[in-house]
Amino acid sequence: MPNVLEVPTLPNRPLLRADEPEVIGRMQLRRNVALDFVENAAFLADLAVYDQDYQNSQAHSPLFLAHMQNVLALLKARFPRGSKLVEVGCGKGDFVELALADGHFDASGYDATYEGANPRIEKRYLGPDDRIQADVIVLRHVLEHIPAPHRFLAMLRDIFKTGHVYIEVPSHEWILTHQAFFDITYEHVNYFTRTALTGLFGSTASTHGLLFGDQYQYVLADISTVSQDYGSRYDDASQWQTLDFDSLFPSLSSRIAELDEMIAAPARLYLWGAATKGCMFLMHCRNQQRLLDKMAYVVDINPGKCGKFLPGSRIPIQAPEALYADAREGDVLVIANPNYQQEIAATLQAHGLSGLKITCL
């Protein structure tokens, strides 16, 4: 069926072996016209299990660390010193650790995938029986993973009662404008436009903004103002329309063909970025049976991924040091996230790699 995609369910969970079994999920996008909200109607939560093998931290990048510092500064400007900050779905704890080191907030977090030993972070998810006090609740790249997000926010409203919530998610407008087909992924069941994100709250004032080269958006609102009628519009079957992936991203096939033609033997292809973007791009290459035969490996600075394999394409992941040793003049390096281009180019120049052809997705 043209409207159904088959993709790896957890692109941030690298395979330990090239022949390791993996779960492939189905995606069927649909849009709620009333909410301007897009979701994967074929999503099955049981296929997306987040555990300690899930590697979604980007804190190894100086650019992303700067982004987290910008978010912290934004919150510090809104909440006085000593305010209680609770991050729900804090991942590996990077933002909580940053906030604790800064000292402005009394910070803590919750996440079942947490690997560290900080007593301020509990290795679990929140449930409806929890009762917690916080001045600011932080949801950084959490809400796009949770089906029927308005119901999850209603649960958080009951848990926290008062306080503000900061929600950061990808911008669906940015995805469409930049033809970022690699951002349509199984683990993201939800895709928020500005209207869809701000509509999660009632008519009282909330703050909305864009971050990280406009790829991300945020809303800051009182948790008690979670919308009462979002659910009725979500449940109205007449408001949904099925979307066609190829129509949303018409440039995908031509971009893959263009890259294929850039590489002539004996040149090799490298991809920098073993996160969601790199994984999904190579999965589409696999589906089209192009480029993978020219791939050397994927490069990533996250040591938790190096020596493993990307889901879907099963391409090996290596540390940057391998690229510094192996790359030759005429080889092609594709950078998955253009936000990192300057950072990566400076690193390559420092290692004397001036003959690489560099392009971005």
84: pLDDT strictly greater than 90: yes
287-296 pLDDT, tens digit each: 889 999 999 9
Q: 234 and 117, same structural domain?
A: yes
Tell me, what CATH number does 292's domain have? 3.40.50.720
Number of folded domains that form the chain: 2
55: pLDDT strictly greater than 70: no
Q: How far apart are CA 168 and CA 154, in angstroms?
A: 17
Please tell me the pTM assigned to this model: 0.81
Q: Last residue of some domain: 219, 242, 265?
A: 242
Q: How far apart are CA 142 and CA 89, in angstroms?
A: 6
**54 secondary structure, DSSP code:** -
132-147 pLDDT, tens digit each: 999 999 999 999 999 9
As a whole number, mean pLDDT of residues 187-208 equals: 91
Instruction: For residue 267, tell me if it sits in a domain.
Output: yes
Q: Mean pLDDT score of the chain, rounded to an integer? A: 93
Q: In the prediction, which pLDDT does 105 show?
A: 99
Q: 189 and 72, same structural domain?
A: yes
Instruction: For residue 318, tell me if it sits in a domain.
Output: yes
Q: 162 and 94, same structural domain?
A: yes
Cβ–Cβ < 8 Å for 167, 219: yes
In this prediction, residue 56 has a pLDDT band, given cuts at 50, 70 and 90, of low
The 3-class SS string of 107-147 reads EEEECCCCCCCCCCEECCCCCCCCCCCCCEEEEECCHHHCC
Q: What are phi and psi of 164, to 5 degrees?
A: -105, 155
As a whole number, mean pLDDT of residues 38-52 equals: 84
Q: What percent of the chain has pLDDT over 90?
A: 81
Q: 150 and 182, same structural domain?
A: yes
Q: 224 and 118, same structural domain?
A: yes
Residue 328 CA, chain-centre distance (Å), reads 32
Tell me, what CATH number does 195's domain have? 3.40.50.150
280: pLDDT strictly greater than 60: yes
In this prediction, residue 58 has a pLDDT band, given cuts at 50, 70 and 90, of low
Cα dihedral 100, 104, 106, 107 in deg (nearest 10)? -40
Q: How far apart are CA 275 and CA 282, in angstroms?
A: 11
Q: In the prediction, which pLDDT does 206 show?
A: 84
302-358 pLDDT, tens digit each: 998 999 999 999 999 999 999 999 999 999 999 998 889 999 999 999 999 988 999
Q: In the prediction, which pLDDT does 273 show?
A: 95
Q: In the prediction, which pLDDT does 51 show?
A: 55
Domain of 255, in residue numbers: 251-360
Q: How far apart are CA 319 and CA 242, in angstroms?
A: 40
Q: How far apart are CA 346 and CA 356, in angstroms?
A: 13
Q: Where are the alpha helices (DSSP H) in the chain?
A: 62-78, 94-102, 149-160, 172-177, 194-198, 230-235, 245-248, 252-262, 276-288, 320-326, 341-350
| CB atoms inside a 10 Å sphere around CB 195 | 13
Q: How far apart are CA 34 and CA 27, in angstroms?
A: 22
Q: In the prediction, which pLDDT does 2 show?
A: 54
48: pLDDT strictly greater than 80: no
Instruction: For residue 28, tell me if it sits in a domain.
Output: no
Q: How far apart are CA 24 and CA 21, in angstroms?
A: 10
As a whole number, mean pLDDT of residues 151-158 equals: 98
Q: In the prediction, which pLDDT does 13 show?
A: 86
In this prediction, residue 103 has a pLDDT band, given cuts at 50, 70 and 90, of very high
Cβ–Cβ < 8 Å for 93, 111: yes
In this prediction, residue 50 has a pLDDT band, given cuts at 50, 70 and 90, of low
